Amino acid sequence: MYEGVSFIPLTWTDMLYLAPEFALAAMFLFLVVLDLLLPERVSRLAIGWLTLVGLLVSLLLVVLRLLDMNQGGASSESIRLLSNSYRIDDFSSLLKIVFLTGTALIVLLALGSVRDEEAITDKAEYFYLLLPALMGAMMMTSSGNLVTLYIGLELLSLTSYVLVGMRRKSSLSAEAAFKYVVTGGISSAMVLFGMSYIYGITGSVDLGVIGEALPRALIDFKALAYVGFFFMIAGFGIKIAAAPFHAWAPDVYQGAPTPVSAFLAVIAKGAALAAIFRVMFSTALFAVSEEDAYVSNDIFFALLVLGAAAMLVGTTAALRQKNVKRLLALSGVANAGYMLVPIGISITVVHSSNFSEFVYYLVAYLFMTIGAFAVLTVVSRASGHEELKGFAGMYYRAPWTAAAMVIFVLSLAGLPVSGGFFGKLFILLGAASSKAYWLAAIMVVSSVISYYFYFGIVRQMFMRSGNDAGELRISGVTGLVIWLCAAATIALGVFPGPLMEWIDAVFSIKADLMIIG
């Protein structure tokens, strides 16, 4: 059995390594107290701007740590805290940059739309509750053992439940929060159940020790290993809304405030995918002997099947959607499938750029999705609803905003020249190089199917009249989010190489994913 290790307390140096997380925690506590002390007549939007400051400070600390660890472009050894429970490495740092950037854009989007959200009674909480949720996502990327991973997952989940139900005067929001709590609870239970089996057969929660112990455990407990990993995959499948575990997503996205829907679509989904990446590549990929290699192959094949189902179900279910939020939710289901592909095809002799493909598409997905949600806030405010017909005649009312939406639609559909095109292309080429031709074919088919409903938005904007629609009022902050996302989407499509090369230069499979206990 696993004998464990003695407790190693945090030193002041360790505290500096955790500075990005501590910065978010300190800002969260400060804003909670400030919210209690501020008089009612003082605008709570000030707390929104302070939330943004906290995010930018944390982002700066992560970037400085990443640059310090990679001086000269060479990947360094990871930093291990609390007996390898928490890791500061390039894997976690790159994903933290993505999550902090995405959350900053979401806070800006909320600042531009919260004045019109009369159903949100606690506007200060609407902002600062994003901080602990983001801390949970950051913990999931840095987890070196299953306990830390589960704590991060629950911190993200519990805070998200509250955020979904922030529109207290809306029955749709209450229904969405209830459904999210139930499905989220089931998901967490499945993940924990799978973890308990992995712990039971290996005697450890440390990912490195699990990787070393699995070959021996498979001799007597092969069936239990399957149960443990498959329950974890199913639990995380609910978190990322991958088919057939996606039924909750359209209702929750529709009922939640739009910035919260964007947070669930990008940050919560990305954190769960990062957890799958870390767990599978630290344990199942490197842990099996030659005679038991088929166990690892089966586990990764299950991820590919889940990804294929998500792509096909997400795109076909969106064909008949008229509500844009629900359409974007189902689009997120399909995109979860695309991002599962570089995880599921694992590492082969001819293909080892899994992480760069995953991060590139996650970055492209972040900008095009948050941008699409930002345009939706403008349209729904003018029309009073979130239906597709609200986009009718948008080109004649706000041509530049319509042009930005075209950019996001092109990227979501995977057409050149956009970040989404190269994101899908890199993943498609990776699948082909690994001889997963059936998966590449499904990617192509699902992308072609998606053209119908994505270009339904374009058809409404350019080929329908919108004489009865209200004026499109775009606040400066919302406009900033839209054009930052549009510019980033175009930049990723015109210059895809620099980001991929930088990720490959920084990230090291051996140093960042082959966790040694």
Evaluate whether 376 touches 343 at the Cβ level (below 8 Å). no
For residue 13, pLDDT beyond 60: yes
Count CB neighbours of 417 within 10 A: 15
Beta carbons of 420 and 411 less than 8 angstroms apart: yes
Segment 203-215 mean pLDDT: 89
pLDDT tens per residue across span 467-507 = 555 567 888 899 999 999 999 999 999 998 888 888 888 88
pLDDT at 494: 92
**How many residues in the chain?**
517
Who contacts 301 (Cβ-Cβ below 8 Å, separation ≥6)?
344
Residue 199 has pLDDT above 60, yes or no: yes
User: What pLDDT score does 232 carry?
Assistant: 95
**Residue 8 placed within a domain:** no
pLDDT higher than threshold 80 for residue 6:
no
Q: How far apart are CA 347 and CA 280, in angstroms?
A: 11
Q: Is the alpha carbon torsion for 346, 350, 351, 353 positive or negative? A: positive
**pLDDT given at position 99:** 97
Does 75 score more than 70 pLDDT?
no
DSSP 159-196: HHHHHHT-BTT-HHHHHHHHHHHHHHHHHHHHHHHHHH
Please check whether residue 452 lies inside any domain of the structure.
Answer: yes
Among 257, 39, 41, 240, residue whose Cα is nearest residue 130: 257
pLDDT at res. 228? 94
Amino acid type, 36: L
Do the domain assignments include residue 98? Answer: yes
| pLDDT tens-digit series, residues 362-408 | 999 999 999 999 999 999 888 888 888 888 888 888 889 999 999 99
Do the domain assignments include residue 437? Answer: yes
Higher pLDDT, 424 or 350: 424
426-443 pLDDT per residue, tens: 999 999 988 889 999 999
For residues 62, 64, 69, 73, the Cα torsion angle rounded to the nearest 10 degrees is 110
Count of alpha carbons within 13 angstroms of residue 61, beta-carbon side: 18
Mean pLDDT on 12-36: 91
Which residues have a Cβ under 8 Å from the Cβ of 50 and sit 6 or more positions away?
27, 30, 31, 34
Q: Say how many domains are in the chain.
A: 1
pLDDT for the residue 74:
47
State the first-to-last Cα distance of the chain, in angstroms, to the nearest integer.
15
- What lies within 8 Å, CB to CB, of 133 at 6+ separation is 155, 156, 159, 160, 163, 263, 267, 268
Judged against a pLDDT cut of 80, whether residue 138 lies above it is answered with yes
3 state DSSP class of 387: strand
Q: What is the pLDDT of residue 476?
A: 87
Any domain includes 10: no
Residue 3 in domain: no
**For the CA atoms of the chain, what is the radius of gyration?**
22
Q: How confident is the model at residue 346 (pLDDT cuts 50, 70, 90)?
A: confident
**d(C-alpha 240, C-alpha 255), whole Å:** 18
Query: Residue 206 above 80 pLDDT?
Result: yes
Cα-Cα-Cα-Cα torsion 57, 44, 264, 155, nearest 10 degrees, comes to: 70
| Separation between Cα atoms, residue 354 and residue 358, nearest integer Å | 6
- What's residue 288's pLDDT? 55
Which residues form the domain of 227? 18-512
pLDDT of residue 49: 93
pLDDT over threshold 80, residue 77: no
Task: Give the pLDDT score at 444.
Answer: 95
pLDDT at 71 over 80: no
* pLDDT confidence bin for 152, thresholds 50/70/90: very high
**pLDDT band, very low/low/confident/very high, at 41 (cuts 50, 70, 90):** low
Q: For residue 514, is pLDDT > 70? A: no
Q: Which of 335, 350, 509 shows the shortest CA–CA distance to 423?
A: 335
Q: Does some domain include residue 504?
A: yes
Q: Tokens 């995918």 identify what position?
A: 273
DSSP state of 80: E
According to the model, what pLDDT value does residue 139 have? Answer: 95
| 341: DSSP letter | H
Average pLDDT score over the chain = 88
Chain segment 239-282, per-residue pLDDT in tens: 999 989 999 999 999 999 999 999 999 999 999 999 999 999 88
Q: Is pLDDT above 60 for 73?
A: no
291 confidence band (pLDDT: 50, 70, 90): low
Q: How far is residue 270's CA from residue 266's CA, in Å, rounded to a whole number?
A: 6
CA distance 179 to 253: 11
Within a domain: residue 481? yes
Judged against a pLDDT cut of 80, whether residue 218 lies above it is answered with yes
Global pTM reads 0.93
What whole-number percentage of the chain has pLDDT above 70?
A: 91
Q: What pLDDT sits at residue 1?
A: 41
The contacts of residue 328 (CB under 8 Å, 6+ apart) are 253, 261, 265, 369, 372, 373, 376
**Residue 514 near residue 282 (C-beta atoms within 8 A):** yes
User: How does residue 189 score in pLDDT terms, banded at 50, 70 and 90?
Assistant: very high
For residue 517, the model assigns a pLDDT of 46
Instruction: Give the pLDDT score at 471.
Output: 67
Is the link from the previous residue into 417 a cis peptide, with omega within 30 of 0? yes
Higher pLDDT, 123 or 231: 231
Higher-pLDDT residue of 243, 117: 243
Each residue's pLDDT tens digit, 29-39: 999 999 888 88
The contacts of residue 294 (CB under 8 Å, 6+ apart) are: none
Give 1 or 423, the one with higher predicted confidence.
423
106 — pLDDT class (breaks 50, 70, 90)? very high
SS3 assignment, position 304:
helix
Query: Residue 218: what residue type?
Result: L
